[in-house]
A and B are shown apart, each in its own frame.
Chain A
Amino acid sequence: MSITDSVYLLIFGSGLLGGFGHCSGMCGPVVAAYTLGLGLGSGDVKTYAPAQALYHAGRITTYGILGGIMGMTGSFAGVVESIERFQNMTLAVVGMLMIVLGLAATGWFSLLKGRASRKIAPVVSGFVSRVVRFIAATHTRGSLYVMGIATGFIPCGLLYTAYIAAAGTGAKAGRPVEGFLSGMFMLVLFGLGTVPALFLIGHLTARKGAWIRKRMSMVASLFMTAVGAIFIYRAFQG
């Protein structure tokens, strides 16, 4: 196994090309949402660059492990079938968090607290503010890595193609260990290829975060909420 093998270059290229053409549309909103939602939009490169790097490291960890398993077993369909329910659950949880963060940012919950039922509204707004506080409080480097690991499970067609390639390469490998290593290596390269596009989205969101909050806070919040709703729809559709 050598990094100069064309299959490894192709898979890295697939991640790089797909990062700009596919991931920016599909996973870009997640990156933008957590950058805004977790308050990484300070515009300070020293704050957001390590945070982004940790998030991507977590994502690539999941890809690498699943790629290794695909390579070891030589089976794509079997592995995906066994994790499909967990994937959909992750998608639903990420969607719910995005809705909570989005709605909390609109300020509608405090409005609800003041005008609507005195029994229900405080419970709802209290729950939301607790969730937001929890997410903000866990804004540590470790939690971003864990968040990256979780979002690595989000179903993605481009990622599936990389897994299919890993399973195909693994099936040709002589020993399971060889298959695991080649599958893992392929998916790590694929994941690294997707980083530049998503990092750019995170960078732009972080740089413009304050501007977005000031001038388009309602639009950004509703966008985040809508993306969360789409994620939940996809989770239950799958």
Chain B
Amino acid sequence: MRTIPISTLMLCVMLSSASATTAKSAACDVSREACVALTDHAIVSLDISPKPVRAMKELFFSVTVKGARIRGPLLLMLFMPGMYMGRNEVELKQAPDGSFTGRGIIPRCPTGKNLWQADIAIPDHGSVSYRFYVNY
């Protein structure tokens, strides 16, 4: 599983008949743009606003899932790789347009470390991860 920018994914789909899972691109930075991640038969897009993503500020998370029919809310888990920061989860409720949205906050680590990861579990389709740097 890897994250790629939406524009690159669309280009890959247009130019090649290869499946989306073979799309090659540089790692996408979800703190600067919406990113997609691929899982079993599903394309999951995550957008966080406002940008750039800042710690200690309320953030709006928006997720769209293509290729899988999802019922009920999704759970987005925020954590810092290599440092236990407690259980920080954001409930993403389904909006009328089919996307999943929710609000959450990323705490600041006093050590200055700012690499974070967002994991989203897609029922029956595995999970996707996005790593990104947060501005302090």
Pick the contact of B84: A17, A155, A164 (CB < 8 A).
A17
B57 / chain A contacts, CB cutoff of 8 Å: 77
Q: How far is the CB of B105 from chain A (nearest CB, A)?
A: 5
Interface residues on chain A, size class: 20 to 34
Decide yes or no whether A60 CB sits under 8 A from chain B: no
A162 / chain B contacts, CB cutoff of 8 Å: 86
Decide yes or no whether A211 CB sits under 8 A from chain B: no
Pick the contact of A160: B58, B87, B107 (CB < 8 A).
B107
* B84 engages A158 (CB within 8 Å): yes
Given contacts A14-B86, A157-B107, contact A237 B56 (CB under 8 A): no
A161 / chain B contacts, CB cutoff of 8 Å: 85-88, 107
Q: Can you name the residue of chain B whose Cβ is closest to the Cβ of A88?
A: B110
Majority SS at the chain B contact face: strand
Q: How far is the CB of A18 from chain B (nearest CB, A)?
A: 5
Q: Can you name the residue of chain B whose Cβ is closest to the Cβ of A156?
A: B110
Decide yes or no whether B11 CB sits under 8 A from chain A: no
Decide yes or no whether B108 CB sits under 8 A from chain A: yes
A238 / chain B contacts, CB cutoff of 8 Å: 108, 110
* A157 engages B109 (CB within 8 Å): yes
Q: How far is the CB of B88 from chain A (nearest CB, A)?
A: 5
Residues of A that sit less than 8 Å from B by CB: 10-11, 14, 17-18, 21-22, 26, 76-77, 80-81, 155-158, 160-162, 164-165, 234, 237-238
Q: Besides A11-B87, A22-B84, 9 other CB < 8 A contacts?
A: A22-B85, A26-B110, A26-B111, A157-B83, A160-B108, A164-B104, A165-B88, A234-B110, A237-B112
